[in-house]
Amino acid sequence: MVQTIVVLGGQWGDEGKGKIVDFLAEKADVVIRYAGGNNAGHTVVVGEKKYKFHLIPSGIIHGKLNIIANGTVVDPEVLVHEIETLENMGFKVDENTLIVSSSAHTILPKHREEDNPAKSTHAKKIGTTGRGIGPCYRDKIARTGMRISEYVESDSRYVEKIKPLVRDTCYIINDAIDSGKRILFEGAQGTLLDIDHGTYPFVTSSNPTVGGALTGTGVGPKKIDSVIGVFKAYTTRVGGGPFPTELGTEEQTNAEGVWENIEPEYEEHLREALEKANEGDEYYQGKYMRLKGKEYGTTTGRPRRTGWFDGVAAKYSVMINGMTSIVITKLDVLQGLKRIKICTAYEFDGKKTDRFILDSKKLAKVKPVYEEMPGWDMDISGVKSFDELPENARNYLKRLEEICGARISIISGGPRRDQTIVVDGKDLF
């Protein structure tokens, strides 16, 4: 029986983890956010309602116990805003539904100021969200930071809302596991943004990988039953850094502007992109996926760089996290494309390799080696089982399993809960 599940991103973040966590949270007793800060953002769609979260675990809408654990960094202003937003929507937020670790570190105004891309050349180069995440983690490592336990003794106007929620969470989490409760660990960002295992220096400042779930909560490795990696059916990346399967250039993507500029003429843009994509234009293949998948940041509204599924990176991600199974999201986005590519190897210095290259300067120079498969036109957003998918979609998914070296447990064919197909439930609650 599966009692503890870690859900984490297998790519550069934005893989749709929020929806998968929401789907699994229905059967969980406790949902825990273990790393990152409000630089992460996820959207959950329930019926006609859309919920956007940055700090609070998405399990909050289920009325379960949600924990912001010690591995996170917390901006008090953002946290209080999210609490008040949820309360205004009719959700009860108290110590029975939300707990904040006393050992989590506090993002202060000075951290946000230092991280402002408009003022920091480094922040602009890396492509940070400017939320103060990196400077806060730096102060934590330098042992000059402020923990939440210290912050709630200050005279800040946000203290009143936060102080009743603060606890030593490592005991609460381990007691819950020992008593047989079902625990869901929620990652932020993705494996390739990990400070140790990602495309350094174009990474976040924490460990989104499975190790971060352990150090970020105070739970030992033997207490983890299942590690589920979430991957899009293609690949996206926000900000700077190498991206082997990118379609078009980062400059072309950024020139398109933020979502609010795109939305008024969305359908027209989508039609044009699909037509040119199927004529073989690589930039428009990427643009079509960006538009169809609405690949614009939850936190920033910035357009995400898009590319074909990178099987080399995915295989690496499965390996270093010890993933027991994977989830493929946004399969519906590929609908309409006549041909679909999968990167199965890299070519570098005249040699072919199926191993991910950890040196970012070298990774920026690799040439992806592609395998091409036929696409499909059928709308799969209402499909309820794997066998109902069009044959070409099934073949594509089977090939992803072979390349990644992991079986698929869940497929997502749209943003809603009911657009979720359980293929293999062995790793689920």
Residues classed as catalytic:
14, 42
Beta partners for residue 327, in sequence order: 230, 410
DSSP state of 11: S
Reduce the DSSP state of residue 116 to 3 states and report it: coil
Distances (CA, A) of 285 to 282, 412, 415: 5, 21, 21
Tokens of 287: 């643009």
353 membership: H or E segment, kind and range: strand 351-353
CA dihedral 94, 218, 26, 79 (to 10 degrees): 40
3-state secondary structure at position 391: helix
* Cis peptide bond N-terminal to 57, omega within 30: no
Which residue is listed with tokens 């350094």? Answer: 200
Q: What is the spatial distance between Cα 398 and Cα 376, in angstroms, rounded to a whole number?
A: 15
Token pair for residue 176?
């819950």
Amino acid (1-letter code) at residue 222? K
| Angstrom distance (rounded) from CA 77 to CA 278 | 46
Question: Buried b vs exposed e over 300-327: b needs ≥16 C-beta within 10 Å?
Answer: bebbbbbbbbbbbbbbbbbeebebbbbb
Cα Rg of the chain, angstroms: 21
DSSP state of 294: T
Burial pattern 235-264, b for ≥16 Cβ within 10 A else e, equals: bbbbbbbbbbbbbbebeebeebeebeebee
Helix (H) or strand (E) holding 177: helix 169-178
CB distance 363 to 199 below 8 Å: yes
Beta strand 42-46 with 305-307 is unpaired
